[in-house]
Structure 1
Amino acid sequence: MLKEDVVESIGEAGLLLPTRIKAALAANDRLKLRLSVVQAAIQHAEHPKRGALDLSREQAAAGLREAWMDEMLASAARGGEMVFLPGLPLLCRGAAADLAAMAKALGEGEAASALRQRAAHWVEWLDAVQDESLSNEDVARLTRGDRDHGDGVHLVVMDMHKQLNRVAAALASEEVDGAHTWNLAAPDRALVAAFMRGLHRTAGLKFDHPGLDTAATRDGARLLLQNDIGTNDAHVLVMHVADLNITLTYSDLHQSRFEFFRELLAAQGASWSVVEPRVTPGLNMGAAYFVGTASFACADADGVARTLQEVGARIVFLIDWNRARKRLQLFVSKPAAIAVLNAAAALEVGHMAWLKAGGEKLMYSVMQAVGDGIFRLGDRLDGVLGETAAQQFLVDALALASRALLDGRPLAQIEDETRVLLTRQLRDWASEFELAGEHAAYCHELAMALRDLLAHGGGAREAAAAALRAKNWERRADDLVEQGRAAAKRHQRWGQFAHLLALADDVADELEEAIYLLALIVEEHEDALRHGVRQALQPLAEGVLEACENYVKALALAATLSHGAEMDSSDAFLDATWRVVLAERACDEQLRAARRLILKELSKAAEMTLAGDLAGTIERASDALMVASFALREVVLARTGAVA
């Protein structure tokens, strides 16, 4: 007779409940894995060319590694209304045993009794499976998540897991910093406390939203931690800690939120399994949901505690994440909305306060309140401010809302402060010459980078890094052009500036292309930059830089002319614009000289083509600078009449 039988025979079955809960939690992990194997095998049967899915990490996390799983995943096949699943009887026997283990730990009461009856029915059904094939109807019985079409194994597993959590919370023999715990070993308390320190660090950011309840117990050689995150059945986080290794299993209905969480944990060294989307009828409206397992290999015990703490601190940012993303997408693109949520999580301010303060209604209210016809019905923030500025404003708005609600400030005050924040952003955006000057600054950075790369050389790595920086600068310059275009739609005075910015953007495009070509030559055709060729290209780059510096100077002087400056300033402005023209003419001559030298020095077609393209691209940047300089003169003439 087993010890459990003795305890039960003397009427103290309650003493078995903690042990049964541990066993039931482990059985729940195994059942989820078994169902995942079936779903993945069916997907393979439907799409055999995709290959079998690797669930080895999930198998290790559940402590279940059996040969039939690999065979089922690799060899499943469909024949009409039937699906061939090798090893199916073994899966069903194991699933029946796991269902029975979960049923033992459900506690007392009508709800527990009803669940046990359902479980008993499905245990009997599973035990009756003898063949290695299932009909479509039986597949639905096994994996169904839609209650409208009857009960199923998957449904009863989910419902028993909920009941199990309730029983575990009621059973908790002690509390460790708010976590419900039982059967912990002495070292476990410090680890649970570390996780809870991180959780408490940010838990206030959920405000009154339910969620973040934590349970912990020891399961053999592992500490088991579970957090309920929020209220959704398919949103689950479980952690196993064994020695210096942590395994985290996470499931989510939303792929974008799953990827967000992966990015949040990247800094902690998470190594994720790659799991394909899974589909359960009735769950997530028939769309895919996602499950992944992350592993953390820690250097020492302190590293384990730190990792648990940092994981705990990040869970709150998953609550209502998808709702916040959808609201933010009313004002910026989806990638920008996700970037805002990433930044808010990194700052540990989150998004819940912004939602509580009104979310999109708050934004529409402050957009309307800034006045001056800046925003019209249907406008997005990025359409007026540009993507970069709109993204930064939203990050600042989320941070403001969090600080304000945590400080107990009223919602009306939050709206006023957000309006001030937007007004400040618009003030920074509104100056035409400042916007043109900022754009010119990016052109100047590009021109200097090109000159330096030609003058000082460097290897492929340095050239590739320069090309990456150049692409970033060119994109930021594009954002400024979009701001100018958006402003021109609302304010007539911006029309000429929008045109000027569009012309000047050709400078940024040509310079970025030149740096890219130069990096390509350095990486693939170093011989194209023989000593003489490099020397011939350097004056071209110097000429473009000189033209760019005079264009920047002309813009700075034009800003003073627009406010009525003296004649000396007008002369200096004219001199700067003409120096741009003179530099362009010099570049024409330098291009001809460079072409002659390229023909003389190089013989291979690819090298001649690339070197010639590079020289031509640099010269076109000088052409674009001259065109922008003439456009700037027209702007000043139209605005002030100071230049005749």
Structure 2
Amino acid sequence: MQKTQAVASLGQHRLMLPAWVKAALSANDRLKVCLTVLQAAAAHAAHPNRDVPDLGHEISAAGLNAGWLHDMTTAARRVEDDLLMPDLPRFVKCLEEDLDTMARPVLETTPSGAAPHARVRSWLDWLDALPADRLSAADVKSMTHGQRGDGDSLHLLVMDLHKQINRLSGELASEVIDGANAWELQPQDRVLVAAFMRGLNRTAVLKFDHPGLDTAATRDGDRLLLQNDIGTNDAHVLVVQVSGLVVTLTYSDLHRIRLDFFQSMLLPFGAKWSGLESRTNADLNQGEAYSVSTARFDCVDEAALQATLEGIGSRIVFLIDWNRARKRLQAFVSKSDAVAVLAEAARLDIGHRAWLQAGGERLIHAAMQAAGEGAFRIGDRLDEVIGAADAHAFLVSVLRLACDALGRGQPAALVADETRMLLAHHVRQRTSEFELLAEHAAYCQALAQAVSDGLAHGAERSGKAASKLAARAKLWERKADHLVMQARDKAERQPRWRPVARLIEKSDDVADALEEAAFLISLAAEHPLQGWNDDVRQSLGQLAAMVLQATQDHVKALAIARTLGSDSEAADNDAFLVATWQVLQAERQCDALLRTARRTMLAVVRDAPSLMLANDLAGTLELASDRLLAAAYTLRDVAFDQAGVRG
């Protein structure tokens, strides 16, 4: 419903609606606490020897009488399959009254025949018909479950009404404070709302295209209320109350592990969480009931109060899609390390949404595959190959580069390329000499991959794509040149670096040839090509693919070479020789592919400039394979010297 429609439908009740919405929000808090008490009572009745959770903070924050509700939990008993609870009629009456209060603003702004009316009436009648002393297991589930596939429940109704009230509060807002819909604030409230929104807006960009983070603010008596819907999940809601210098935060979530994560994020701001951290219970709702936890922040002065609100607001974005990101990361590291990666990223204000949006785990799987069999085998987990600490650092870096790239409007393909290079850099190597060689080889492989991908996707027909390809290739070629200069500087001071400098100089000829190939593709895109049919493109693509295979074999050979020594196993020595032999084979295949490509070009390309560009591109790709072969022979000499073999 649009704001104008809401006003038109309210008539003379318009002035009462803000009060009804505030009352509804308070009723929502009480209903959630009552359902939590019911779940705790059922759990205690099922396992009477276990400790009873302390719900005092939650009950007090909701404005309820703590005594009789807490007694309901401790006195609950199970008789056969039924749950016996003292003061059950009083408990049900509270549910009925709060449901009626919560539903009122929604029902008053919807036609009498609309679905909410019948649904609310049905649940009020259902509550009224409950026995006075006991609840069946089906009754408890009907009140508490949160799975829509299991039919309706009181819990689901409360969540749906809550979302409708959130939308209604936005439509009724009398002012907007830095994006927060607000009404009936006192003058001192606005600076507090602004502080919360300052933190929220600072990090909100990290959600990218995901919905969520809508905020509402109002005053209820002596309390300032702030509410954020976080994302699209019905049960994922955060409510903040400010009374004097005390902040009380109530947070609900379907995932206990994410609740634990949020608790840890707020500890630096002075959060004191209630003893019961979650109401998820394996005996109820197949373990999927939503969790609720309450935190209290005691602030020393107004400045500390604003800083606390700003800190809370700044952390919310890191909850969006958090569980999805955690599960994706667990393909590469342990469950605890996946959480640690997300915690470190949040601490550095690095979002995980960009990584998910750019491809998530596919980026890393592709990078592991591109690293070659010498680094990773099928089924290897990242931390098992490069170590837990380095895997942690790599994943945090990937999240950062995805965040930076998408934040600058750069394509996901660039994130994939940078991830490949980053992983090649992080693969552990035995000596610093091989670290430098492997980093240079990673740039060569990235260049070969980019050229191959560019030809496969028709970059020569797209000026924009070809221009980006050439720019990226030039950047990587310059970074490769910088590594050559580092090796030369070290070789001047340390004799052991001289063979490495010779090898990296040979390898740099590969980078130069591949950067030239990228330039020729961009040159072809600048001018109309005549005669470059599918046969020509296929022949060029085959050449580029073979060069890419050769670079991967070279990376593999380097990965093995760093482990070779006088005590190397025969299998490692054989694997190294096979990898270098494959580079030789690739160079020979490139020779044959070049001749085939030239025959194809001469048969179909009649335009002289188009023929020249095609021939130059093919020749440059073949030259890259020649340079790779020269680098492979030099690598053999370095590896043999390291292993104590004399030629």
Query: Structure 1-normalised TM-score?
Result: 0.65
Distance 2:95 2:285 in 1: 24
- Name the structure 1 match of 2:288: 287
- Work out which of the residue numbers 551, 563, 570 in structure 2 matches 1:494: 563
Are 1:199 and 1:313, in contact at CA under 8 Å, matched by a contact in 2? yes
SS at match of 1:181: strand
The amino acid of 1:135's aligned partner reads S
Distance 2:29 2:268 in 1: 27
- Work out which of the residue numbers 637, 640, 644 in structure 2 matches 1:640: 644
Are 1:144 and 1:282, in contact at CA under 8 Å, matched by a contact in 2? no
Structure 2: unaligned runs, 5 residues or longer: 1-9, 436-555, 570-634
Q: Tell me if 1:429 matches 2:433.
A: no
Tell me how many residue pairs correspond in the alignment. 451
Distance 1:284 1:141 in 2: 10
Q: Tell me if 1:156 matches 2:157.
A: yes
- Name the structure 2 match of 1:188: 189
Query: 1:109 Cα deviation (Å)?
Result: 2.4
SS at match of 2:429: helix
Query: 1:317 Cα deviation (Å)?
Result: 0.5
Query: 1:280 Cα deviation (Å)?
Result: 7.6
Question: Residues 257 and 496 of structure 1: is their aligned pair in 2 closer, same or farther, counting only changes over 3 Å?
Answer: farther
Question: Residues 341 and 47 of structure 1: is their aligned pair in 2 closer, same or farther, counting only changes over 3 Å?
Answer: same
Structure 1: unaligned runs, 5 residues or longer: 1-9, 436-486, 501-561, 566-634
Measured against aligned partners, the alpha-carbon deviations of 1:169-214 in whole angstroms (never above 9, x if no partner) come to 1111111110111111111111111111101101001000001000
Distance 1:147 1:389 in 2: 42
Distance 1:383 1:395 in 2: 17
Distance 2:281 2:146 in 1: 6
- Name the structure 2 match of 1:298: 299
Q: Percent identity?
A: 51
- Name the structure 2 match of 1:21: 21
- Name the structure 1 match of 2:178: 177
Question: Residues 134 and 344 of structure 1: is their aligned pair in 2 closer, same or farther, counting only changes over 3 Å?
Answer: same
Are 1:217 and 1:224, in contact at CA under 8 Å, matched by a contact in 2? yes
Question: Residues 373 and 26 of structure 1: is their aligned pair in 2 closer, same or farther, counting only changes over 3 Å?
Answer: same
Q: Tell me if 1:82 matches 2:82.
A: yes
- Name the structure 2 match of 1:252: 253
The amino acid of 1:429's aligned partner reads Q
RMSD over aligned CA atoms reads 3.1
Distance 1:381 1:351 in 2: 18
SS at match of 2:224: strand
Query: 1:144 Cα deviation (Å)?
Result: 3.7
SS at match of 1:12: helix
The amino acid of 1:206's aligned partner reads K
SS at match of 1:403: helix
Query: 1:256 Cα deviation (Å)?
Result: 1.8
- Name the structure 2 match of 1:526: none
Mapping of residues 585-600 of structure 1, within 5 Å? none
The amino acid of 1:246's aligned partner reads V
The amino acid of 2:39's aligned partner reads Q
- Name the structure 2 match of 1:93: 93
SS at match of 2:40: helix
SS at match of 1:145: coil
SS at match of 1:415: helix
SS at match of 1:240: strand
Question: Residues 135 and 424 of structure 1: is their aligned pair in 2 closer, same or farther, counting only changes over 3 Å?
Answer: closer
SS at match of 2:22: helix
Mapping of residues 71-150 of structure 1, within 5 Å? 71-106=71-106, 107-110=108-111, 113-129=114-130, 131-150=132-151
SS at match of 1:391: helix
SS at match of 1:212: coil
Q: Tell me if 1:199 matches 2:268.
A: no
SS at match of 1:63: coil
Distance 1:76 1:429 in 2: 62
- Name the structure 1 match of 2:33: 33
Distance 2:147 2:258 in 1: 23
Question: Residues 331 and 228 of structure 1: is their aligned pair in 2 closer, same or farther, counting only changes over 3 Å?
Answer: same
Are 2:431 and 2:562, in contact at CA under 8 Å, matched by a contact in 1? no
- Name the structure 1 match of 2:521: none
SS at match of 1:395: helix
Measured against aligned partners, the alpha-carbon deviations of 1:318-368 in whole angstroms (never above 9, x if no partner) come to 011111111111111112111111111111011111111111111122222
Query: 1:142 Cα deviation (Å)?
Result: 2.6
Distance 2:379 2:644 in 1: 35
- Name the structure 1 match of 2:386: 385
Distance 2:174 2:567 in 1: 69
- Name the structure 2 match of 1:599: none
Question: Residues 186 and 432 of structure 1: is their aligned pair in 2 closer, same or farther, counting only changes over 3 Å?
Answer: closer
- Name the structure 2 match of 1:56: 56
Query: 1:120 Cα deviation (Å)?
Result: 2.5
Query: 1:237 Cα deviation (Å)?
Result: 0.8
Are 1:325 and 1:338, in contact at CA under 8 Å, matched by a contact in 2? yes
Distance 1:253 1:377 in 2: 34
- Name the structure 2 match of 1:399: 400
- Name the structure 2 match of 1:332: 333
Distance 1:343 1:219 in 2: 37
SS at match of 1:73: helix
Distance 1:30 1:63 in 2: 7
Question: Residues 71 and 310 of structure 1: is their aligned pair in 2 closer, same or farther, counting only changes over 3 Å?
Answer: same
Distance 1:226 1:110 in 2: 27
The amino acid of 2:315's aligned partner reads R
Distance 1:143 1:284 in 2: 8
SS at match of 1:274: coil
Distance 2:251 2:12 in 1: 36
Query: 1:425 Cα deviation (Å)?
Result: 2.0
Distance 2:176 2:395 in 1: 39
- Name the structure 2 match of 1:532: none
Question: Residues 407 and 433 of structure 1: is their aligned pair in 2 closer, same or farther, counting only changes over 3 Å?
Answer: closer
Mapping of residues 209-228 of structure 1, within 5 Å? 209-228=210-229
Query: Structure 2-normalised TM-score?
Result: 0.65
Are 2:434 and 2:558, in contact at CA under 8 Å, matched by a contact in 1? no
Question: Residues 155 and 287 of structure 1: is their aligned pair in 2 closer, same or farther, counting only changes over 3 Å?
Answer: closer
SS at match of 2:230: coil
